[in-house]
Structure 1
Amino acid sequence: MARILVVDDERSLRRTFALFLRDDGHEVETAEDVDQALETLEAAWVKAQAEGGGHFDVVVSDIILPRRSGVSLMEAVAERWPDIKVILVTGEPTVETAASAVRSGAYDYISKPVSSSKIRKVVASAARVKSLQDDNNRLQAENDQQRAELARLVEVRTAEVRDTKEALASTVERISRIASNIPGVLLQFERHSDGEFEFTFMADSAEETFGIKPADVVADARAFTDRVHPEDSEDLRESLARSAESLNLWSWEGRIILPSGDVRWFQAQSRPVRNESGTVVWDGVMLDMSERKDLQARLMLSDRMASIGTLAAGVAHEINNPLTYVLANLHILGKRAEKAIGLDQTDAARSQLCSQDTLQLLRETAEGARRVRDIARDLKTFSRSSDEVHPVDVRQVLDSSVRMAINEIRHRARLERNYLGSPLVLANSSRLGQVFLNLIVNAAQAIPEGAADDNLIRLTTTTGEDGHAEVIVADTGSGIAQHLIERIFEPFVTMKPVGVGTGLGLYICRDIIHHIGGVIQVDSVIGEGTSFTVRLPPAPADAVLSPLTPVPGRKRQEDLPRARILVIDDEPNIGRSFVRSLPEHEITVVDSGREGVRALDDGASFDLIFCDVMMPDVTGRDVHEHITEHHPGMVDKIVFMTGGAFTERASEFISRVNAPRVDKPFDVSTIRAILRQKLDPNHQG
C-alpha cells in the first residue's frame, strides 16, 4: 500500500479523506496548509535518507488553502520530489480547471463533493503509477548491471572458444552454473558457410523460460526457431543475415510462443565472430521483456492522455466555434419555417424560406457539422489503442494532428504546409499521430505567445533519395542547447519547466518510429529554431489506403428494389433520420436491442438490419449473438453503427465479428452505398 499525505484546511475533510484511504490499507498523514505539508514531506525525506524506508507516494491537496494555494504546493513538490504524484481537489470543476491542472503537472484532479469511491480510485491509480515508475527505475538499474556482467561473460566465452575444445567444455560448464542464476537465457549458436544454423549451447534456464529442453534445441535448432512468432520470424532471419555479413552487433526483439500457448516478448543481443572455417558464432543472452513492454505501453498511454489534457481547451474551442453558428443558423431556419407554415402564412415568408440565403445557411450549417465530425474522428483515431498497422498517408495524419493542436499554434506562429509527393507507409495511424502531435505541440511551445506573425511552424513532406517518406516539422523557436540535443530522446529529459509535460514524449516518439523501421533526427540552433525529420520506409508498391466509407455506386438509387429495413438505436433521432432520408424503403425503427430482438422473434423479416453497438441493457453484441443462435439466416444482413466509445467487451467483439461497420456521424450517401452493396446483386466491389 502507498504512503499518502492529505492537505486541507478543513479538519473534517482531512479526517474523512484519511478514513477512506486508511480503510484501503494506505498509510495516511494530514496537514492543514502548504507550510505544514512541506515540513511533513521534508521530515519524511530526511528520515528515509538516514534510516531507510519509504517516502510519500501521493499528495492529495485542496486547491484553495490559506496563504498559499494547492498549486504552489504542487510546484514545490515537483521541484523537490518530482516522483511524488499530486492530486488536486477543486470545488469548481470545469474543462479549464482540468486542462490547467494537467498542464501544471497534476496527476489528476477531483471535484467536490468527493465520493469515497472516486478518491479511492484516483489515489489507487496514482499509487500504482508511482509504484510502476519505482519498479522501472529499479529494473533499469538491475538491467544495466546485468548487461555489464553479461558483456564481460560473453567476452570471456568468445576468447575461450577460440582456444581449445577443452577450454570450451570448461567454460560451458562454468557459464551454465552462472546462467542458472540470471534473469535470462544464455545461448550460443553458429551459422555455417552453407547458411544452416546450429545451437551449440543453451543454458538450463531455457526449460523454465521457454518451456524447451536445451538438449532438444542443441539436437535440432527448429525446436526453438519454430516457436518464434510467425510475424517476427522473418525479422529474426534478416537481422541474423545482416549481422553475419557485417559482423556488426546483432540485436533482435520479438515474440516466442511457449508450449502453453502464452506469447512472451524477448530481447536478444550479441556481437558475432567468424572463425577460421568461415562459421559465424554468436554468444548472447535472451531476456524476457514482457513486463517491460507492458510498462512501456502504460507510459505511452500516460503520455497520450497528458497530450489530450494539454489540448483539451483548444479542442473544445475548435468544436465550439462551428457549433455556435450551427445553432444560430438552425434557430434562424426554425423561425423561418414557423412563419412559412404558421397561421399567418404569407408568400413573403415562404419566399424567404425558399431563398438563396436559406440555402447558404444550410450549407454553412453542414460545413460546421463536418468540422465537428472531423475533430471527433481525429480524437477517436488518436485515442485508439489497437496496434494494427495499415497503409497510411502521412499528410492525412499530419492534418489530423494539426486540427487537434491548432489552438496551441495560432497564438504563437503562422502554420505553413509544404506537402510534396510522398509514398504510403505501413504504420498505426494512432501511434504515428501521437508522434506528429508531439512534435507539433513541442514546436509551438518553443515559441512564446504574442508574436504569431513573426514566427513560423513549417510542415514538409517529401520522398527521400532512397524512396523513404520524409516528414519535417520545423519551427523558428528558441532552439535546443547542444548538450541537450545529445540526450533529447532519452526518457525524462525535457526543456520544459518542472511540472509541465512528462519528459517521455520524444523518447516515446523515437520508440514508435524505430518500431516501424524508421528514424527520427533533430537539428537545432539556439535562437534560430529546431527541425525534426522523420524518415519512414515506404509501404509495398501494391498498398492502397482503406476507404473511410463505402463508395456510392454509379446506378441511381431508384433502381434498387423496395427493401424492409430494421433500425436499432437508443437515439430516436437517428431512426427518424433513416425514415426521412429513405422514403422509398419500408423502415422499422426501435429504440432498444430488446425491442429489435422481439420484432425478429415475432416473425418479422428484414432485408437489412442497422444496429448500434453500444446500447443500455441489450447491446449490439447481444443482438448479434441472439440472431446467430435463433435467426442464423439473417446474420449477414447486420450492419453495425458506432460512435466510437467501446467497453472492453464491445472492443473485443468489434475486432472479431465479420460484419460491416459505419462510424457515426455518417451521411445519407454512406447509407445508400451500403444499400447498393447489400441489395444490388450486380454491384461490383
Structure 2
Amino acid sequence: MFLRPGCHGLEGTGGVIIQGRPQARVAAFPVRGLVEVLALAGVYLLAARVALSLAAEKSHICPVWLPSGVALGGLLLLGVSRWPAVALGAGAVAYAMDVTPGVGLSVVLGSTLEAVLPALLFRRMEGARELHRVRDVAWLGAGAGLGALVGAGLGTLGLVLGGVVPAAQWGPAGWLWWMADLLGMLLVTPVLLLRRPRRVARSWEALLLTALTVGVCVGVFAFPRPGSAAAHAMTFLLFPLMAWGALSFGLRGAALSSLSIALAAIAGTARELGPFFTVDLPHRGLVVLQLFIGITALTGLLLAAARAERRQAVELLELLATTVRAVHEGVLICEVRESGGLHTVFVNEALCALVGRRREELVGAAPGELLASADGGDRQRLLEALREERSLRAEVALTRPDGTRVWSEMQLSPVRANGQAVTHFVATHRDVTATKELQARLVAAERVAAVGTLAAGVGHEINNPLAYLALNLEAARRSLAAEGAQAPAGVRDALSSVRGAQEGAERIRLIVRDLQVFSREGAPERGLVDLNALVPPAVRVVLHALRSRARLVEDFGPVPRVLGSEARLGQVLLNLLVNALQAIPEGDPGRHEVRVRTGTDPSGHARVEVEDTGGGIPPDVLPRIFDPFFTTKGSDEGTGLGLAICQQIVRTHGGDLRVRSVPGQGATFTLLLPPAPVQSAGSLVPLHAVAHVSEEPETAASGRRGRVLIVDDEPRLAQSMRLLLEPAHEVVTVTRGEDALARVSAGESFDVVLCDLQMPGMDGIAVYRWLQQEAPELASRVVFISGGASSPEARAFVETVAQRVLEKPVRPDVLLSTVEEMLEGSSPKVAARGAVGGTRRG
C-alpha cells in the first residue's frame, strides 16, 4: 500500500494584483498578510481531513485531493505571495501522516509548486477568474495539469526514495497522485472563484435541478450492487443534469453540480457501492472514477464558459443589431451565394423608411432591384464593384413603390468573414435627396440670377437704340403733323404709321423698364412705394402666359404708400401672380380668373390680394405652404422657394403674407404692409417718380431759345436728341466727356447740359464733379440720362445727387419738358408714378 497522492499544496512567489490592489500595498499590512496565510493554511488542513474521510476503507488512497484546489484557489484570490500558507498546510499534513523528514520535504515542495505554477501561468495568460471564456478554462486546466504533474512527480519520488512505495509502483502511484491533485483543482478552485452569490432569477429551476441531481446520485451511488450494469447505465443520467446546470446557471451551476456529483461518487465508491467499485481490481475502478469525475468537471466548466461567451456574443450582437437598427442611415447586408448571386439578409428600419418598403419585401431580394437608374449606369458600377470585391462610394437613385426616386449616398464594403473570400457585402445609404434638390435649386437660382443679370444687360443695351428710335419717331411725327389737316392722304397715312410705331416703341420701353425693375441686383434703395403703380409692371410680365389660362381682373382701390424696396415688393407681386397662373390649368381661360385687388385694410395697412380660381390648396399642405423647398408642383414648375422668399421679403418690410384656400375653389394670397410714417411727397420722394407730362406736348411754352450741350457716347442717340431739340434750341453734341469739358474750358456757354451717366473714359460722374469745381453754375443745370446704374458707385451717385436723372429710353415729351424747365430755372414738377421718366434727387 502507498500514501494518498494528495500530500501536497499550492503556493507561489511574486506579487500580483489582488482584487484590484497591488501586492506591494498588501505587503504594507503584515498583520493582514499573516492572517490570510494562517486562514488559508487552516482551510487547507480542513480540506485534507475531508479528503481523507473520503478515502477507501481498506486503503489511504484519495480519488480527489481537495487541498490542491484550495491551494490554487487561494493563490488566485489572495495572490501568489501567500504561497507559505500552502507550504505550511502541506507540512502539517505530512507531519500528521508520520513520514520521514525527506519524504515530508518532497511532499511540501511538490504541493507548493503545483499551486504556484498554475497560478503564475494563469496570470501570465491574463486569465479571468470568472472563467467566462473557454480560453480561461483551458489555461486553468493546462496549468492545473502541469502543476499536478510537478507535484505528483516530486511527491512520489520522495515516497520511492523514502521506501514508502516500491520503485515498481512509482508509475501507477504517480498517475493516481496526479489525477487526484488535478481533479482537486478542477473541482474546488472554480467553487472558490465564484463571486458573491446573487439572487437566483429562476429559483424553482434551481430547486428542481438540485432535487433531480440528489435523486440520481443516491440512485447511482447508494443502492445498486457494486459494478452492476444498471448502475453504469444510470451514471449517464448525470451528464445532462450537469449540462443543465452549466447552461442555465453558468459557472456557479457547473462548479457546484460537478463538485456535488464528484463527492457523491467518491463517497459511494469509498463505501464499496456504485458502478466504480470492483472487488477484483479496486485500483482500476479508482482510475475509472477519476476519469468520470475529471470529464464531468471539465465538461461542465467548458459548457459554462461556452455559454458565457455565447451570451456575451449574443448581447454584443443584439447591441450591434439595435445600434444598426437605430442609426439614421440605412443599412443593408447581403450574402454572397455559391452561384455568385446576392440576396439580402438584413435591412434596418432607416432603409425601409428610405425606400418605403417593408422588411419582408427586402430580405431575400437582390439588392440591385432597389436601383432606379433606367440607363443601368449605377447598376453597372455596382456589378463591377461586386465582381472585383472592392469598396464603392457613389450617389445612386433608389426607387419607391409609387415610382418616386430618392437619392442616396451609398458606401459599399466587402466583408471577409474567414479572412479570405468575401462572404457578405454591407451597404450604408444616407439620404441625400434634400441635398440633391438643394444643389439643383441652387443651380436654378444661379440660372435665374444669370438671367436677371442678362436681362438687365440686355435692357441697358436696348435702351440706347430704343431711345433714338423713339426720338426719331417723335421728330418724324412732328414734321408730318406740321403739314396740317390739308396734307395729302399719303402724309396722313405716314403720320398714322409713325404713331403706331411710337406705340410699339412705348410698349418695348415699358417691357425693358419692367425687366430692369425685377432684375435690379441688390436693390438696396428704400423709399415711398405706390403699390397701385407697382402692380401694372408685374401684370405685364405674366400677361402673355396668363392669357391661355384665365382672364385677368384688376380692382384698384385707395392704398397708402409704404416704405420699402420697389424691386423687392415687385418681386413679391410677380411671384404671387406666377403662383396663381400655375394653379390654373391651360385651355379654359373663359372659366378661370385671376383677380388682383388693392385697398386699405381696416387696420390701416396697405393690402394687395391675388386671387385665383384654381384647384386650391389641401388642408394638410396649407400649414407648410411657406416652408423653404416645400412644393407640390413638378420639378419643371416649382422649386419650393418662391413663397418662402416672398414671406421673408414681406416680413423684412414689417408686413405679413397670408393665404386662405378652399380645395376646388382656388386660393387667395393677401399681402399686408404697414403705411409709411410720412405720406407727403415733399418729405420723401418716391423712388423713380415720373414727371407728369401731357399726352401731346409741343415746343417750350415760354418760347425761349437756349443753348443745349448733349454728351452721349452713342452718336445716333445724340443725333436723335439734337433733331428733336434743334427746331427750338441751339444744340451741340459731343460723344466724349473730355470733349465736353474742352468746350467749356474754351469759353463756350451753355444753358442746359444733357449728359449720359455711364460712358467709356470720362463718365458723367467725372464730368459733373469737374463742373462743380470749374463751372458751378453750369453744374446746377446738368441733367443726367441713364440706361440703368450698373455699378455700386453709379447707384450711390444716383441716390445722392441733387440733379435730375432721366431713364433711357427718354420719352420725347419728357425730354422737351425737362429742357424747358431747366431754361425757366424752376424745379421740375414731380407727379405720382406713371410711365417711366426721370427722378429729381435731393
TM-score normalized by the length of structure 2: 0.42
Name the SS of the counterpart of 1:82 in structure 2.
helix
Quote the residue 2:503 is aligned against: 367
Please say if 1:458 is aligned against 2:588.
Answer: no
Please say if 1:665 is aligned against 2:809.
Answer: yes
1:437-448 correspondence to structure 2 within 5 Å: 437-448=574-585
Q: For the structure 1 residues 666 and 487, does the alpha-carbon distance in structure 2 shift closer, same or farther, using more than 3 Å as the test? A: same
Quote the residue 1:490 is aligned against: 627
Quote the residue 2:516 is aligned against: 380
Please say if 1:611 is aligned against 2:741.
Answer: no
Name the SS of the counterpart of 2:598 in structure 1.
strand
Quote the residue 2:787 is aligned against: 643
Distance 1:430 1:529 in 2: 27
Aligned letter for 1:453? G
Q: Is the 8 A contact 1:676 1:683 kept in 2?
A: no
Name the SS of the counterpart of 1:482 in structure 2.
coil
Deviations 1:233-256 (A, max 9, x none): xxxxxxxxxxxxxxxxxxxxxxxx
Q: For the structure 1 residues 408 and 308, does the alpha-carbon distance in structure 2 shift closer, same or farther, using more than 3 Å as the test? A: farther
| C-alpha deviation, 1:590, in angstroms | 1.0
Aligned letter for 1:454? R
| C-alpha deviation, 1:386, in angstroms | 2.5
Quote the residue 1:479 is aligned against: 616
Q: Is the 8 A contact 1:590 1:596 kept in 2?
A: yes
Query: Which structure's CA Rg is the greater one?
Result: 2
Distance 1:587 1:38 in 2: 75
- Equivalent in 824, 828, 833 of residue 680 of structure 1: 824
Please say if 1:81 is aligned against 2:439.
Answer: no
- Equivalent in 394, 397, 402 of residue 44 of structure 1: 394
Q: For the structure 1 residues 38 and 460, does the alpha-carbon distance in structure 2 shift closer, same or farther, using more than 3 Å as the test? A: farther
1:333-344 correspondence to structure 2 within 5 Å: none
1:160-309 correspondence to structure 2 within 5 Å: none
Aligned letter for 1:465? P
Q: Is the 8 A contact 1:78 1:499 kept in 2?
A: no
Q: Is the 8 A contact 1:422 1:463 kept in 2?
A: yes
Q: Is the 8 A contact 2:561 2:676 kept in 1?
A: yes
Q: For the structure 1 residues 684 and 360, does the alpha-carbon distance in structure 2 shift closer, same or farther, using more than 3 Å as the test? A: closer
Q: Is the 8 A contact 1:479 1:530 kept in 2?
A: yes
Name the SS of the counterpart of 1:83 in structure 2.
helix
Please say if 1:503 is aligned against 2:640.
Answer: yes
| C-alpha deviation, 1:441, in angstroms | 0.2
Q: For the structure 1 residues 556 and 642, does the alpha-carbon distance in structure 2 shift closer, same or farther, using more than 3 Å as the test? A: closer
| C-alpha deviation, 1:398, in angstroms | 1.4
Distance 1:370 1:684 in 2: 23
Q: Is the 8 A contact 1:549 1:662 kept in 2?
A: no
| C-alpha deviation, 1:555, in angstroms | 12
Distance 1:677 1:478 in 2: 54
| C-alpha deviation, 1:673, in angstroms | 2.6
Name the SS of the counterpart of 1:626 in structure 2.
helix
Distance 1:377 1:684 in 2: 22
Please say if 1:576 is aligned against 2:719.
Answer: yes
Please say if 1:564 is aligned against 2:707.
Answer: yes
Q: Is the 8 A contact 2:530 2:561 kept in 1?
A: yes
1:24-35 correspondence to structure 2 within 5 Å: none
Distance 1:641 1:37 in 2: 58
Q: For the structure 1 residues 511 and 613, does the alpha-carbon distance in structure 2 shift closer, same or farther, using more than 3 Å as the test? A: same
Q: Is the 8 A contact 2:393 2:411 kept in 1?
A: no
Deviations 1:531-585 (A, max 9, x none): 1111122234643474733346999725253222110111222222222222221
Q: Which has the higher mean CA deviation after the structures are superposed, 669-678 or 515-524?
A: 669-678
Q: Is the 8 A contact 1:549 1:670 kept in 2?
A: no
Name the SS of the counterpart of 2:799 in structure 1.
helix
Quote the residue 1:420 is aligned against: 557
Q: For the structure 1 residues 654 and 541, does the alpha-carbon distance in structure 2 shift closer, same or farther, using more than 3 Å as the test? A: closer
Distance 1:608 1:454 in 2: 56
Deviations 1:39-89 (A, max 9, x none): 77994337965499xxxxxxxxxxxxxxxxxxxxxxxx989932335xxxx
Distance 1:80 1:40 in 2: 22
Distance 2:433 2:710 in 1: 53
Distance 2:379 2:635 in 1: 17
Name the SS of the counterpart of 1:454 in structure 2.
coil
Q: For the structure 1 residues 402 and 35, does the alpha-carbon distance in structure 2 shift closer, same or farther, using more than 3 Å as the test? A: farther
Deviations 1:332-383 (A, max 9, x none): x99x99xxx9xxxxxxx9723322x333222222211111111111111222
Flag the structure with higher strand content: 1
- Equivalent in 548, 551, 555 of residue 689 of structure 2: 548
Quote the residue 1:4 is aligned against: none
Q: Which has the higher mean CA deviation after the structures are superposed, 429-438 or 477-486?
A: 477-486
Quote the residue 2:216 is aligned against: none
Q: Is the 8 A contact 1:304 1:434 kept in 2?
A: no
Quote the residue 1:402 is aligned against: 539
Aligned letter for 1:45? E
Please tell me the root mean square deviation across aligned C-alpha atoms, in Å: 4.2
Name the SS of the counterpart of 2:594 in structure 1.
strand
- Equivalent in 745, 754, 763 of residue 601 of structure 1: 745
Name the SS of the counterpart of 2:523 in structure 1.
coil
Quote the residue 2:443 is aligned against: 107
| Count of residue pairs brought into register by the alignment | 396
Q: For the structure 1 residues 525 and 678, does the alpha-carbon distance in structure 2 shift closer, same or farther, using more than 3 Å as the test? A: same
Deviations 1:573-600 (A, max 9, x none): 2222222222221110012223223322
Q: Percent identity?
A: 34
Aligned letter for 1:83? L
Please say if 1:527 is aligned against 2:527.
Answer: no
Aligned letter for 1:613? L
Aligned letter for 1:588? V
| C-alpha deviation, 1:497, in angstroms | 1.6
Residue segments in structure 2 that go unaligned for 5+ positions in a row: 1-373, 383-391, 397-407, 414-431, 830-842
Q: Is the 8 A contact 2:560 2:679 kept in 1?
A: no
Name the SS of the counterpart of 2:631 in structure 1.
coil
Distance 1:602 1:668 in 2: 31
Q: Which has the higher mean CA deviation after the structures are superposed, 618-627 or 542-551?
A: 542-551
Aligned letter for 1:371? R
Aligned letter for 1:84? Q
Q: For the structure 1 residues 471 and 446, does the alpha-carbon distance in structure 2 shift closer, same or farther, using more than 3 Å as the test? A: same
Quote the residue 1:249 is aligned against: none
Deviations 1:424-457 (A, max 9, x none): 2222211111111001001111112222222111
Distance 2:765 2:434 in 1: 49
| C-alpha deviation, 1:478, in angstroms | 2.1
Distance 1:476 1:610 in 2: 50
Aligned letter for 1:374? L
Residue segments in structure 1 that go unaligned for 5+ positions in a row: 1-32, 53-76, 86-104, 109-298, 342-348
Distance 1:304 1:535 in 2: 27
Aligned letter for 1:501? G
| C-alpha deviation, 1:678, in angstroms | 2.2
| C-alpha deviation, 1:480, in angstroms | 1.6
